[in-house]
Each structure stands twice: as C-alpha cells, then as structure tokens.
Amino acid sequence: MRFNIRKIIGPRIIKTGISTFLTALICILLNLPPIFAVITAIVTIEPTTYASLKKACVRFPASIIGAFIAVASLYVFGESAFTYSLAATLTIFVTYKLNLQAGVLVAAITAVAMVPSVEGEYVYNFVSRLATTTIGLATSTLVNFLILPPDYTDQIESINRSTTRSTHKLLVGRLKELIDGKYRSKQSERLYMQIQNKITESETLLKYQQDEVNYHRSNREKMRLLNRLERDIQFKKLYFTHVGNLMYLPADITIDFSLREKAAIRDIKDILSNDLTSLKMVIPAVTMIRKNIRQLNDTEDTFKIHILYEIVIIYQMIVQHEKNSTASVKVKKDRETGQGD
C-alpha cells in the first residue's frame, strides 16, 4: 500500500509548516524580526490557491492600516492598556469600513503585536513590520500555489456516497413512518439535518476544486470527473429537497391512506430497500398511486395528493439517476478498453 502523508497529516498542516519555516528563514537572513511574518503566514494559508491570491490582495492593504494605526496610537498615547484597545478597535473599524473584511484578522494582530515592540523609531518599525508582513503573505501564497495543490475529489466522492446511502435510509424510514401514521419524527428530522450539512460540505469542497482549475492545469479526465461530481451533487440536492417535502408536514395533520395506498407505499419502500440497479420506471405500485391521485378531491385531500405525488416523483428520480449512473460507468469502461487497445 502506497504511503500517503497527505492523508495522515493533511496538506494544509504540511503547507503551514513549510510556510512558517521559509518565512522565518527569509526574515532571519534579512535580519528582520520574524514574529510578525510567521503569524501572518500561519493565518493566511487558505484551502485553495484562488482564495490565497484573492485574500492576499485584501490582507496587504489591511496590514498597512493596522501597522499605521498601531504606530500612531503608540506615538500619541504611549504603551498602555488604552493603546492596545484603541489600536485593535480602530483597525477593525477602518478595515470593515473599507470593505477589507478578509484582512481584519491579520491587520488586528499586526496592530496589537506592534504596540510593545516599537521603541521610539516609529518610521523604521512601521516599514520593518510592513516588510515582514509582506514576506509572510507572499510566502504563504506561493507555498499554497506550488506545494501540494488541493485535491478534494476523493473527499467529495466519499461524501456523495455517504449522503446517498443516508438519504435512501431516511426515505425508506420516512415511508414506513407515513404508513404507520407518524407524521412528525424527531429522529428523521435529526438525520435530515445531518445529511443537509454533509451536502453543503460537498458543495463547498467542489467549489474549492473548481476554483483550482483556474490556476493548475487539469486534463480532460479531471474535468469530466468534476462535471460528474457536480451533477451528482445537483441530483442529491433535488432528491433531498423532495424527501424534505415528506418530512415537514403540519403538526396537526391526519392523512387517511387507504389499504391499497398503504400497500403501494410499502411496495415502493421494499423495492428501494433492495438492489437499486434493477429498478424499473413503471411498476404496479406507481401505476396504482397515479390512478388514485386522479380520483382524489383536490380540496379535501390536498396533503394526501402532495405526499403521493412526492413518493412517485422521488421513486422515478432514483430510477432515472441509477440508469444514468449505469450508462456513465459503461461509457467509462468502454473508453478505458479503447485506450487499452
């Protein structure tokens, strides 16, 4: 088995260590105090190259503001508790007013850390701190760009598989609850929220990976993978939304499913509990539910119609997705076979 340090430590931790080492080394060679540069390097490592470059453009002017405010506050009031408070407060206020939110942390740290270290030579200290902060920013950005470029595809695929299983489990459990007349379920709602958080996480990671495409060369296979992952997430969100429509019903609702409707819902539940690759778009249970919907009164049976429609829609969405997934796997295998030939 191949040794992969990225999975043991994590690329962001590795890059932070490399960035702080190089930053400190450069400052020592230039006879500059490394503390400000190292602090800056630590807090500016980002998940993607895009984020590093974008935020560096904000953090640099924010650092200038923080350093200037610290020197000015110290010059007027000397070193005191008030000076620390004033430097931090003014820095945060000004950076927010100038829409430099991404640089607030670096600017505030720079301002507060400068207060005890300036010893009369205000201009020299201002330029020195500005130089070290610039070194920290530049080093962390270059390290993020050149070393261990982020690759979240395995993580996204893992989350997608996990959320698919969890959503199927939630759906099957919810169908059983509806058959049993349990229209509100704290357990199902907790599982729903957990899945929602994981889907949001996979969306965030996909956005990170798509941002990286602009700064690192990607082959066609990589682009196809990203497109497939995006389609999977879009399906998951739509599927999850429809399942949510079965979850959050009025607290005082009572739905009188007929024996035939309960049997049909139970059949769909049992089918979805087994092998999904053998699903058929049209089955007797779906046909029966559609027929019953046409016979229901739109005014009196609004919620029943809503639930039955959602069950049919969800079932057929799953069938179509499984067919598309099977076709994609076949195309991939055919492509690999053709390459092998």
CB count, 10 Å around CB of 50?
A: 20
pTM value is 0.70
Determine what percent of the chain is predicted with pLDDT higher than 70. Answer: 89
Nearest alpha carbon to residue 86 among 63, 105, 59, 68: 68
Residue type at position 231: R
Angle (CA) 205-206-208 rounded to 5° is 65
Chain centre to alpha carbon of residue 54:
18
**Domains, the chain, ranges and CATH?**
5-146 (no CATH), 153-340 (1.20.58)
Q: Along the 341 residues of the chain, how does pLDDT read in single tens digits?
A: 444 555 556 777 888 889 999 999 999 999 888 887 888 888 777 777 777 777 878 888 888 898 889 888 888 888 889 989 999 999 999 999 999 888 888 888 888 887 776 666 777 777 887 888 889 888 988 888 788 777 888 889 999 989 988 999 999 999 999 998 888 888 999 999 999 999 999 999 998 888 777 666 666 777 888 888 998 899 889 999 999 999 888 777 788 888 999 999 999 999 888 877 778 888 999 999 998 888 887 776 788 888 999 999 999 988 888 887 765 655 555 555 555 44
Contact 100, 107 (CB under 8 A): yes
**Rounded Cα–Cα distance for residues 328 and 214 (Å):** 26
Contact 55, 103 (CB under 8 A): yes
Evaluate the CA torsion angle 175, 177, 182, 186 in order and state its sign. Answer: negative
